[in-house]
Amino acid sequence: MFDFDIEGKLRKSIPEDTVRDFLDFCVEELKLNRFKYVEVHVKFSRLKDAAGWCTWEDDNIRPREFTIDCLNTQTDEDIFKTLAHEMVHVKQMLKGESKELFKPAYRKYWKGEDHTNTTYEEQPWEKEAYALQDVLYDRYHEECEV
């Protein structure tokens, strides 16, 4: 069960119920329903240097609590695509596809392979998130007729 906590200033053109519906849609499409007691804090604010962020809050090995920060000055479409992108990162961390280790030194792994020194553009978790953000956005608009 996913619990979404939404805070911050959201555009008037996007009702909070629509954000919740979209996040629930992402959970279904990404096949995350099997995970129990997952908490996601979604914060809308004026971020600097990024459209969004996703971080785990509780445990880097088996995380169940996450924060998604989303730039609230984007277009409506870009806000939803950012949310989709960050939900893909939630999926990656929940399923253990993407892991961060901190001892003895910081390392970033994707499906067991060390990608600590991989450039942003080549990071496999970012490639997947960028590919799926448009798919999720388009499916939601087709199925929900928004």
Q: What is the pLDDT of residue 49?
A: 87
Check: CB of residue 37 under 8 Å from CB of residue 64.
yes
Q: Where are the domains of the chain?
A: 2-144
d(CA 99, CA 90) in angstroms, rounded, equals: 11
pLDDT at residue 146 greater than cutoff 70: no
Average pLDDT, stretch 6-12?
89
At 140, which amino acid appears? Y
Confidence of residue 115 (pLDDT cuts 50, 70, 90): very high
Q: What is the pLDDT of residue 44?
A: 95
3-state secondary structure of 50: coil
Question: What pTM, to 2 d.p., does this model score?
Answer: 0.94
pLDDT at residue 11 greater than cutoff 80: yes
Q: How far is CA 95 from CA 2, 8, 25, 140, in A?
A: 15, 28, 18, 23
Query: Average model confidence (pLDDT) for the chain?
Result: 93
Question: What percent of the chain is modeled with pLDDT above 90?
Answer: 79
Q: What is the pLDDT of residue 24?
A: 97
Class level of CATH domain 2-144: alpha beta
Check: CB of residue 55 under 8 Å from CB of residue 39.
no
Residue 125's contacts (CB-CB under 8 Å, 6 or more residues apart) are: 89, 92, 97, 98, 110
Q: Which residue has the higher pLDDT, 129 or 49?
A: 129
